[in-house]
Structure 1
Amino acid sequence: MNVLLVSNRFVEGGPLFMSLILVSLLLSVFFIIKGFLNVKKDEAVSIKMISLATDASLLGLTLGFLGSVLGLIQAFDVIQSIANIDSRVLAGGLKVSLLTATFGLFTFVISRIGILILRGILKE
């Protein structure tokens, strides 16, 4: 995937919500890595990092859906104000509104994979 395409999608999804979701993703990854680093040293810290990573991933997911709903409301406001709506405008509005939900889901899935692996290591 092209870096320019990814940055365009990021901006299309709305910089505010996409940035907040990105912060959630980075926090989740940070907590998971910190949990992996503390597996042998302090298991309690690893368990705490799992909890924090879970919270951060859920925050990313929730922000994604909130951004999606707000994007749909904005798209429908525009549709309501235009008498003859072009199907391309409708499709574009729907695409943009789903970008935040997609990024939120991506954040959640990546975090959950790391959490599952870390939990598996802790139970050995």
Structure 2
Amino acid sequence: MKDLFNMGGPLLMGILTILLLAMIAWYVVTFLAYRNGSEPKAALAKLSHGKSLGLFAMIMGILGQLIGLYQAFSAIEGAGDVSPALVMGGLKVSMITTIYGVIIYLIALIIWLVLSVMVGKSR
């Protein structure tokens, strides 16, 4: 797992991890505020912000892939002739940030769905 983190680029993978932690913290704080007497309607509105953080993480993952592809294509252009296996290896590495971003977004959707149902049931 640490190898994938480093291969994906510590900067963007670090940003994605910070977004994941911020999203989870947002959900926890919002749900605890609801449990302590916050309005259900306000809690549902605030829960959707966590989903937006997950979407932002997915977009950052795609941006990371595009930056990686640009760097790879620049290196290929400078090198001239490269093997297809090398190009495919670069594509594989560039997908790491996108996959991580999509996983974060799926986690955000699952948490949002579960908490929204819990808040909606008690209305």
TM-score range, shorter chain: 0.7 to 0.9
Tell me how far 1:64 sits from its aligned partner: 0.3
Q: Which moved more, 1:61-70 or 1:27-36?
A: 27-36
Aligned length: 119
For residues 51 and 108 of structure 1, what CA distance do their matches in structure 2 show? 12
Matched, 1:22 2:41: no
- Amino acid of the structure 2 residue aligned with 1:20: I
Query: Which residue number corresponds to residue 63 of structure 1?
Result: 60
| Alpha-carbon shift at residue 45 of structure 1 (Å) | 5.5
Within the alignment, does 1:86 sit opposite 2:103 as a pair? no
Match in the other structure for 1:100: 97
Is 1:54 the counterpart of 2:51 in the alignment? yes
- The amino acid that maps onto 1:7 is K
Structure 1 unaligned regions, length at least 5: 1-5
Following superposition, the deviation at residue 38 of structure 1 comes to 2.9
Note the aligned Cα RMSD (angstroms): 1.6
TM-score by length of 2: 0.87
CA distance in structure 2 between the partners assigned to 1:104 and 1:113 by the alignment: 14
Deviating beyond 3 angstroms after TM superposition, the runs of 4 or more aligned structure 1 residues are none
AA aligned to 1:81 is: G
Percent of residue pairs identical: 28
- CA deviations over 1:7-59 (Å, ceiling 9, x no partner): 11111111111111111111111111223323332135633531321221111
Q: TM-score if structure 1 supplies the norm length?
A: 0.86
Tell me which amino acid in the other structure corresponds to 1:70. I
Q: Match of 1:28, as an amino acid?
A: M
Please state how far the C-alpha of 1:84 moved relative to its aligned partner: 2.1
Q: Structure 2 unaligned runs (5+)?
A: none
